[in-house]
């Protein structure tokens, strides 16, 4: 039963009862809430596609762990080909969903935790790797969704976890006993925490000895006692609340804050507990993997953005205009650079002792730098091509008003052969692509912020060997003398 259907996924959610607050209200069944539903639908779509012939090719692989077919979302990266397949799967899915579908954070976290759990066991005699294998088996056997809890709220960003005035600004262990540990803290920007069955919680940064209690990694069900999901507001909510003028008519994204109010975690779900030296490598692996994921999904997003812009040109009567073609080429340049560098990061991946492959860190971070810095310009070019109607179209409710509806249908018509209704649908999609804060901010800050990517590129690029190349060409000998 490793591959659930869409319906089975929906049924599985009915058994969960996460503590949820949305816009000041405690909500009993968040899965039906208009602000949450569109993202659940996106995740459901990933289940659906795993059963379709084209989707299967991208999504489904054999698990050595359970000897069955599983989705790649709960599989280890056991070869460069697994990493190539991941990038292509994420592009394929985003092309069809047009926004986040949330399952890659868990996938990237499973692999990151795996590498360090294995290493820690080897060096410290712990048993984390075996526990993790059991957890992953369970996820595979039941085809479950895992979100990864990475981003702490952080308080004063110039201070380390143990230096904060309030010790809870990073999630940490507040108690331990024979059965397990108790943790406190809050993770923010938790994309789709309410679409998942489990959370895999990892440290958000490297830790030092005094930060020991913050070096903790564990799995927890989304409705464990003390776990509180608080909805974070996005930009286009008035549309979702009214189910109107949506743009992307089926799918959407939300991002929660998840508060851990003294949550108990049994030992079998704990994968790091005080071994602070592993926190840094773990989160760096996660970062590199997740930037590599963005290379696939955001390129898929780019495909939609480019398609929407080109279609807007058609609908405005401006197909084949030279400056528009020039912009489309520039948009392709950025999106394909993101994709190309992620593909290359897969090809140049190397195995770790755990058997899990890590991507080339320079290439995966370069890919994300293009996303963080240039994708915003791709979006600007889409707006430029589409024209001013992205800003301020009347509502569908106006279109249906008997007095002004006919006038609006008349005046909002574009090129012959395209209905006013279709033209408006397209402009609403472009509006969504341009102004949905969760997507746009994810481009910039998702999987770390650009400065982190720059730093990672720099640290991994072996500048010293490049200096030697320059020296050799000039005839400067290695031993410097005066």
Tell which positions 411-430 bind a copy of itself, by CB under 8 A.
Answer: 411-420, 422, 425-426, 428-429
Q: In the range 34-53, which residues lie near a copy of itself by CB under 8 A?
A: none
Give CA–CA dist 321/159, Å, rounded. 53
- Tally the C-alpha atoms within 13 A of residue 271's C-alpha that lie toward its C-beta: 32
472 makes contact with a copy of itself (CB under 8 A): yes
Q: In the range 106-135, which residues lie near a copy of itself by CB under 8 A?
A: none
**DSSP helix, strand, coil percent of the chain (3-state; round to 5):** 55, 15, 30
User: Which of residues 67, 210, 317, 353 is near a copy of itself by CB under 8 A?
Assistant: 317
323 exposed, middle or buried (CB, 10 Å; 0-12, 13-18, 19+)? exposed
Beta bridge partners of 22: 25
| Site map 135..154 versus a copy of itself, x via CB under 8 A | ----------------x-x-
345 makes contact with a copy of itself (CB under 8 A): yes
Say which residues have a Cβ less than 8 Å from residue 232's Cβ, sequence separation at least 6. Answer: 188, 189, 254, 255, 256, 257
What are the φ/ψ torsions at residue 388 (nearest 5 degrees)? Answer: -65, -20
203 makes contact with a copy of itself (CB under 8 A): no
CA 355 to chain centre: 24
- Tally the C-alpha atoms within 13 A of residue 142's C-alpha that lie toward its C-beta: 15
User: Which of residues 14, 28, 53, 473 is near a copy of itself by CB under 8 A?
Assistant: 473
169 makes contact with a copy of itself (CB under 8 A): yes
User: Which of residues 1, 14, 15, 24 is near a copy of itself by CB under 8 A?
Assistant: 24
435 makes contact with a copy of itself (CB under 8 A): yes
Beta bridge partners of 263: 183
225 makes contact with a copy of itself (CB under 8 A): no
What are the φ/ψ torsions at residue 175 (nearest 5 degrees)? Answer: -160, 160
**Pair type for strands 19-22 and 227-232:** parallel
15 makes contact with a copy of itself (CB under 8 A): no
389 makes contact with a copy of itself (CB under 8 A): yes
Beta strand segments in 98-156, E: 146-149
CA 155 to chain centre: 23
Q: Which is nearer to a copy of itself, 114 or 448 (CB)?
A: 448
User: Which of residues 233, 243, 266, 353 is near a copy of itself by CB under 8 A?
Assistant: 233
User: Which of residues 29, 241, 243, 266 is near a copy of itself by CB under 8 A?
Assistant: 241
Alpha helices in 316-446 (DSSP H): 322-347, 361-386, 396-400, 405-411, 420-435, 437-445
CB of 206 to a copy of itself, least distance (A): 18
Say which residues have a Cβ less than 8 Å from residue 200's Cβ, sequence separation at least 6. Answer: 106, 109, 110, 113, 146, 147, 148, 149, 217, 218, 219
Give CA–CA dist 457/471, Å, rounded. 22
- What distances in angstroms separate CA 319 from CA 268, 272, 386, 387, 423, one per listed residue? 60, 56, 11, 13, 15
Q: Which is nearer to a copy of itself, 117 or 309 (CB)?
A: 309
Q: Going edge to edge, which strands form the sheet with 227-232?
A: 25-26, 19-22, 227-232, 255-266, 180-191, 172-176
CB of 248 to a copy of itself, least distance (A): 5
408 makes contact with a copy of itself (CB under 8 A): yes
Of 107-115, 133-141, 202-210, 408-416: span binding a copy of itself (CB under 8 A)? 408-416
Q: In the range 176-195, which residues lie near a copy of itself by CB under 8 A?
A: 186, 188-189
User: Which of residues 8, 138, 141, 401 is near a copy of itself by CB under 8 A?
Assistant: 401
226 makes contact with a copy of itself (CB under 8 A): no
User: Which of residues 5, 12, 79, 437 is near a copy of itself by CB under 8 A?
Assistant: 437
199 makes contact with a copy of itself (CB under 8 A): no
Of 66-74, 100-108, 206-214, 377-385: span binding a copy of itself (CB under 8 A)? 377-385
Residue closest to 43 by CA, chosen among 159, 233, 231, 191: 191
Q: Which is nearer to a copy of itself, 279 or 408 (CB)?
A: 408
Q: In the range 70-99, which residues lie near a copy of itself by CB under 8 A?
A: 84, 95-96, 98
Q: Which is nearer to a copy of itself, 151 or 288 (CB)?
A: 151
Give CA–CA dist 148/161, Å, rounded. 20
Of 130-138, 199-207, 282-290, 402-410: span binding a copy of itself (CB under 8 A)? 402-410
Q: In the range 248-287, which residues lie near a copy of itself by CB under 8 A?
A: 248-251, 254-257, 259, 261
Q: Which is nearer to a copy of itself, 11 or 163 (CB)?
A: 163
How many residues interact with a copy of itself (rule CB under 8 A)? 156
User: Which of residues 63, 193, 316, 354 is near a copy of itself by CB under 8 A?
Assistant: 316
CA 426 to chain centre: 25
Q: Are 313 and 385 in contact (CB under 8 A)?
A: yes
231 makes contact with a copy of itself (CB under 8 A): yes
314 makes contact with a copy of itself (CB under 8 A): yes
């Amino acid at each position: 039963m490793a591959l659930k259907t869409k319906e089975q996924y929906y049924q599985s959610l009915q058994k969960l009862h996460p503590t949820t607050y949305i816009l000041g209200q405690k909500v009993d069944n968040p899965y039906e809430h208009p602000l949450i539903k569109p993202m659940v639908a996106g995740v459901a779509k990933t289940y659906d596609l795993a059963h379709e012939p084209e989707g299967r090719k991208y999504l489904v692989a054999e698990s050595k762990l359970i000897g069955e077919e599983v989705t790649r979302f709960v599989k280890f990266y056991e070869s460069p080909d697994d990493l190539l397949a991941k990038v292509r799967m994420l592009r394929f899915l985003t092309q069809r969903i047009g926004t986040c579908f949330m399952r890659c954070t868990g996938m990237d976290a499973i692999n990151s935790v795996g590498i360090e759990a294995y290493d820690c066991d080897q060096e410290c005699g712990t048993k984390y790797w075996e526990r993790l294998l059991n957890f992953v088996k369970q996820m595979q056997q039941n085809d479950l969704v895992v979100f990864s809890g990475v981003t702490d709220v952080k308080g004063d960003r110039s201070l380390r976890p143990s230096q904060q005035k309030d010790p809870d600004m990073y999630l940490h262990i507040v108690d331990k006993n024979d059965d397990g540990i108790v943790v406190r803290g809050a993770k923010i920007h938790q994309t789709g925490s309410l679409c998942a069955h489990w959370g895999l919680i990892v440290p958000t940064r490297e830790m030092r000895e005094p930060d020991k209690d913050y070096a903790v990694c564990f799995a927890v069900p989304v409705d464990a006692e003390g776990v509180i999901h608080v909805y974070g507001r996005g930009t286009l909510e008035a549309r979702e609340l009214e189910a109107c003028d949506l743009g992307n008519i089926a799918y959407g994204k939300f991002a929660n804050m998840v508060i851990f109010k003294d949550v108990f975690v049994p030992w079998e779900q704990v994968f790091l507990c005080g071994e602070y030296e592993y926190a840094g490598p773990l989160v760096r692996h996660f970062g590199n993997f997740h930037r590599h994921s963005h290379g696939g999904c955001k390129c898929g997003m780019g495909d939609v953005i480019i398609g929407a812009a080109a279609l807007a040109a058609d609908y405005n009567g401006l197909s084949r205009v030279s400056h528009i073609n020039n912009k489309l080429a520039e948009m392709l340049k950025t999106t394909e650079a993101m994709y190309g560098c992620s593909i290359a990061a897969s090809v140049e991946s190397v195995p770790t002792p755990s058997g899990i492959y890590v991507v080339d860190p320079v290439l995966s971070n370069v890919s994300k730098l293009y996303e963080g810095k240039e994708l915003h310009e791709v979006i600007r070019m889409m707006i430029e091509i589409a024209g001013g109607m992205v800003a301020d179209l009347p509502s569908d409710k106006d279109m249906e008003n008997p007095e002004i509806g006919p006038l609006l249908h008349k005046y909002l018509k574009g090129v012959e052969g395209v209905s006013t209704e279709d033209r408006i649908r397209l402009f609403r999609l472009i509006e969504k692509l341009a102004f949905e804060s969760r997507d746009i901010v994810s481009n910039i800050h998702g999987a770390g912020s650009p400065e982190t990517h720059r730093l990672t590129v720099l640290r991994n690029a072996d500048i010293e060997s490049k200096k030697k190349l320059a020296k050799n060409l000039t005839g400067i000998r290695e031993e410097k003398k005066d």
